[in-house]
């Protein structure tokens, strides 16, 4: 994984999503669709560098965070703007669909 995507914890989450647009990938290592989505988020993190921050939360390690944001299926991408959840994408979608949803938040 590149250094463009931060791994968040319950300690770092609030600060990471507090300003600007942040896309948080709620995932688990055992989740096959999560592994399919990983290269897509890597590509988008590179494309949107400077406009959108990307982060990941391992739901097995930080279950209360996933519960707080009603993450029931994985992968779930939650798009935050200045600390508020604006949109969510559930499942591994094609890159063009994910890009379009993120760009609506800009």
H/E element holding 56? Answer: strand 52-58
- Give dist(CA 74, CA 31) in Å, integer: 7
Name the 3-class secondary structure at 44. helix
- Give dist(CA 74, CA 50) in Å, integer: 26
Q: Both tokens of residue 10?
A: 């319950």
53 DSSP β-pair partners: 22
Q: Which residues are marked as active site?
A: 31, 34
* CA torsion through residues 72, 23, 98, 87, sign: positive
């Amino acid at each position: 994984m590149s250094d463009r995507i931060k791994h968040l914890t319950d300690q770092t989450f609030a600060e990471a999503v507090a300003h600007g647009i942040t896309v948080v990938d709620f995932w688990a290592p055992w989740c096959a669709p999560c592994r399919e989505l990983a290269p897509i988020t890597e590509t988008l993190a590179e494309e949107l560098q400077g406009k959108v921050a990307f982060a990941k939360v391992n739901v097995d390690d930080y279950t209360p965070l996933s519960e707080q944001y009603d993450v029931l299926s994985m992968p779930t991408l939650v798009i935050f703007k200045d600390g508020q959840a604006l949109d969510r994408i559930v499942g591994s979608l094609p890159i063009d669909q994910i890009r379009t949803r993120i760009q609506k938040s800009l």
